[in-house]
Amino acid sequence: MRHAVLELTDRTIAAIGKGFNEAMGLDLPDVDLIGHTAVALLHAALRRQLMEPDCDMDRLFIDMRRTLNLLTVDRVKRISRAQKKAREEANKKATDKAEA
């Protein structure tokens, strides 16, 4: 049973990551962590619903969406910084080669 649950969780995390990558049209860094966070937040919302059936689930899901958006923006910024750094290094190499 443990193995089946672990496999289901891993597949869910992978599917979430794949969905984010496809939606963004990018290979986001650490996209598996977005999946882990989404699963954890869903688990927390379910636990809250079970403990307090009349809780405001909309509020939890709005916050979950905001959290996942922030994680995604962070990863896009990381890609941008990495691409900028790679361009700067390529330009420096080209300049150094031209001056030599």
Distances (CA, A) of 46 to 3, 22, 89: 22, 27, 48
3-state DSSP assignment of residue 56: coil
Phi, psi of 29 (to 5 degrees): -70, 145
pLDDT at 95 (0 to 100): 86
pLDDT at 97 (0 to 100): 80
The per-residue pLDDT for range 5-47, each reduced to its tens digit, is: 999 999 999 999 999 999 989 899 899 999 999 999 999 999 9
Contacts (Cβ under 8 Å, ≥6 apart) of 15? 35
Residue extents of the structural domains in the chain = 2-99
The per-residue pLDDT for range 34-83, each reduced to its tens digit, is: 999 999 999 999 999 999 999 999 999 999 999 999 999 999 999 999 88
Measured between alpha carbons, how far is 54 from 76 in angstroms, rounded to an integer?
37
